[in-house]
Every structure is written in structure tokens, then in C-alpha cells.
Amino acid sequence: MSIRRSALAVGLTASLGAVACGATTTTGAVSPAPIVTETTSVASTAASTAASIAASPSPTPTAPPEFTSKITKVTRDQVKYSWRPGCPVGLNDLRMITMTYWGFDDKAHTGQLVVNASVAEKITSVFEKLYDFRYPIKRMEPVDKYKGDDYASIDADNTSAFNCRAATGSTNWSQHAYGLAVDLNPRENPYVEADGAHAHSNADDFVDRPLKKPGVINADDRVVKAFASIGWGWGGDWTGTKDYQHFSQSGR
């Protein structure tokens, strides 16, 4: 309190002195104390925070899983609809490939193909390339999921291989009956007659080629070249009728 009173006394003395000298002053007015701001402190804090944020590493996006595959023998129960006695290959000639594929949802999935044992490794290598390309596949299931019904499998846009059946429009065995053919994204890559006719209405927008849409196969594209690397031909190269989904060892 003594310090405060001394300061007040000094102030009053100075004021009276000013009046005595003829200075003009406002009665009762007290000069405000200077306002001390913390601008420097706030700015320093903001700069420190910004530096801290800048120094923090950005979250690393989760990388897609690596391609994996497994080749196993096929049991009778696994092909109870697609295989029967009298087929051109025995159960011992078939293999189940369980492997990773890239979906239309930009995510990795696990699918299965039944193929001839003699080509299982080669087919696996092709689908590893397709996965690396991020070529999208709708689904990949043995046709037994559709009770061996090829039409139902195609209508579901299912990628498949072995099915003990005759070739379309023929009494001869299809290459699928040997496990030596693959049908890839059949909706996006339909079987088209020379006159443009096709059996599945959900493929109406995918009849013409070339066509730039996800999952579509075009002449000499990376998918065709991947199969060509193991000596397989593409049905899109046929004269007249085109089977854009179809790849086979014989080219037919």
C-alpha cells in the first residue's frame, strides 16, 4: 500500500505543478496504464505448433496385399456338378488354384479356378500379372457354385475354367472340358455371333471393340499379351464369331 500511495502522491504533485505553470488539464482524468500485449508469445506458439505439424509424418496408405496362390488336388466333392465319368480328363488331371485377384471395388479378393494340372503353374503366373496390372475381375468361382451351369456362371459375370461340356454350337468337347481354357469377365467380354447377336442381355454395352471400360479385353492389350506369354490364344482374334472372354491353350 505504501508504494501505491507514493505513486499517487507523485502523480498529484506533477499535476498541480502543471496547473501552476498554466497547463490545461482535464479534471479527474487519469492516464491509462500502457497495455502490454502477448503478440510475440502467441506468434511464437503458433509457429511452434505449425513446425510440429510439419514435422509429423503423414499417415502411410495401407498397401494392397501381395499376390498369393496355392495349387491343390481336386476332390470329387469339389467338382460334383462339373465332372463325371466319361469326361476327357480324370480327377487326378485337375488342380484347384486358390489365388488373389483384384476386384472392381479396388480391393484384393481370393478366388478359385479349376484347371488342368499341366497348366496350373502357368495360369497362376498369368493371374499374378493381371493382379499386378490391377486388372479388375468381378468374381472367380468354380462352375460348381452354379451347379455346372455355364449360362448361370456367365450371367453372374464369373471367371471360370474347367467344365466338362461340349463347345458352344458343337458336339465336340470344349477346351474347358480339358481344363485348358479360361473365361474371363464374361459380361464385359461376351461371346458375340458374326451378326452381333449375343445371349446375355447384361452384356449389351460390351459387344463392340475396341472399348475402353474396366474389365474389358481389347486386341493386343496387356491381358491378351499375358496369356500369349504362355502360348495361349484369345477368342477375340477369331474370324466371324468372337469369344472375347475366352483364352485357351489351343487357341480354340
Q: In this structure, is residue 4 part of a structural domain?
A: no
Least confident window among 4-13, 187-196, 239-248? 4-13
Indicate if the pLDDT at residue 177 is higher than 50. yes
Q: In this structure, is residue 119 part of a structural domain?
A: yes
Question: Within 10 Å of residue 228's Cβ, how many Cβ atoms?
Answer: 14
If we measure between CA atoms, which residue out of 81, 94, 145 comes closest to residue 123? 94
pLDDT digits (tens, 9 = 90+) for 61-74: 788 999 999 999 99
Q: In this structure, is residue 11 part of a structural domain?
A: no
Indicate if the pLDDT at residue 58 is higher than 70. no
Q: Are 76 and 87 in contact (CB under 8 A)?
A: no
91 against 8, higher pLDDT? 91
Q: In this structure, is residue 131 part of a structural domain?
A: yes
Indicate if the pLDDT at residue 158 is higher than 70. yes
What pLDDT does residue 191 have? 98
Q: In this structure, is residue 181 part of a structural domain?
A: yes
If we measure between CA atoms, which residue out of 199, 191, 194 comes closest to residue 235? 191
Domain count across the chain: 1
150 against 28, higher pLDDT? 150
Q: In this structure, is residue 160 part of a structural domain?
A: yes
Residue 159 domain boundaries: 69-248
Indicate if the pLDDT at residue 124 is higher than 50. yes
Neighbouring-strand partners of residue 248: 181, 233
pLDDT band at 185 (very low <50, low <70, confident <90, very high): very high
Q: In this structure, is residue 166 part of a structural domain?
A: yes
Q: In this structure, is residue 162 part of a structural domain?
A: yes
pLDDT digits (tens, 9 = 90+) for 6-42: 443 334 343 434 433 344 444 444 455 554 444 445 4
Indicate if the pLDDT at residue 59 is higher than 80. no
Query: Taking the mean position of all CA atoms in its chain, how far away is CA 67?
Result: 13
